Amino acid sequence: MVMKNYLIPILLVFGILSACTSGHETKGSAENHIVLKPFSDSVKIDTFKVALNGNDLKDMTIRFSITAHDGKLIYNKDFKAVDLIDNYKSSVDLKKERSQKAFIMNEYKLFLDDENFLEPAVTESESPDQYTPDKTFYNELKQSTLNGFKYRTGKETSVYIAWSEKEKKVKPYYNCCK
C-alpha cells in the first residue's frame, strides 16, 4: 500500500516531464533520411540520402546524394535553404523566419517521397519534348528501362535524373518547367 502511494506521484511527474520536452526544437543537423532503391542498376540497390545541415536559416543546406550499390558516390547536390525560399516567395507566405524554417523542414521531409522515384525513368510510350536536354540520353533510358528520380528546385521547376549506362554517370534527362 505504501509503494502504491509513491508510485502514482512518480508516474505523474514523469508524464508531465515527457509532455514538456516532446515539442523541443532540433538544432544543428536534422536526422538523415535514407531510402534504398534500384537506380544505377535495375536490380541492385542504391542508397538515396538527404540531410539538412545548419542552425541559422541563412546557413541551412539540404544535401542530397546517391551512392551506388558498390559504395561509389554517383551524385551529390547541395541546395541552399535561402535559394529554395526565394523560388517560392511569390506563391507561399514566407515572410516570417518561423514559416521559412517550417517550409524548409517540409521540403526536406518530402524530398525522398515515393512519388519522386520513377520506375522506369522513361516509358516506351513517352517522347522527348522541349524540356528534354539530351534526346540521345532520353532514348538510352527508354532502352535500358533504368529508374529515374525527380526533385524540385522551385515551385514549378523540377529536375529529373537517371543513370547513364553509356557515360557511367548520373545525368538530367528532363528539366521542367522553367
Asked if residue 10 is part of any domain, the answer here is no
Alpha-carbon span 78 to 59, nearest angstrom: 12
Judge whether residue 89 has pLDDT over 90.
no
Helices (runs of H) and strands (runs of E) counted in the chain: 4, 8
pTM of the model: 0.78
Residue 12 domain flag: no
| Structural domain containing residue 85 | 27-176
Q: Please calculate the CA angle 130-132-136 and round it to the nearest 5 degrees.
A: 125
Q: Tell whether 4 is covered by a domain.
A: no
pLDDT higher at 100 or 165: 165
Residue 92 lies in a domain: yes
- 36 lies in some domain: yes
| Cell reading at 109 | 521531409
pLDDT given for residue 114 in this prediction: 97
Cα–Cα distance, 9 to 36 (Å, whole number): 46
pLDDT digits 0-9 by tens, 42-67: 999 999 999 999 988 889 999 999 99
* Structural domain includes residue 1: no
The C-alpha cell that represents 67 in the structure block: 551512392
Sequence-distant (≥ 6) Cβ neighbours of residue 137 within 8 angstroms? 162, 164, 167, 171, 173
Q: Does residue 160 belong to any structural domain of this protein?
A: yes
Chain centre distance of CA 67: 14
Contact predicate 49/32, CB 8 Å: yes
In a domain, 97, yes or no: yes
Higher pLDDT, 30 or 137: 137
Residue 17 has pLDDT above 80, yes or no: no
**How many independent structural domains does the chain possess?**
1
When pLDDT is averaged across residues 17-25 and rounded to a whole number, the result is: 37
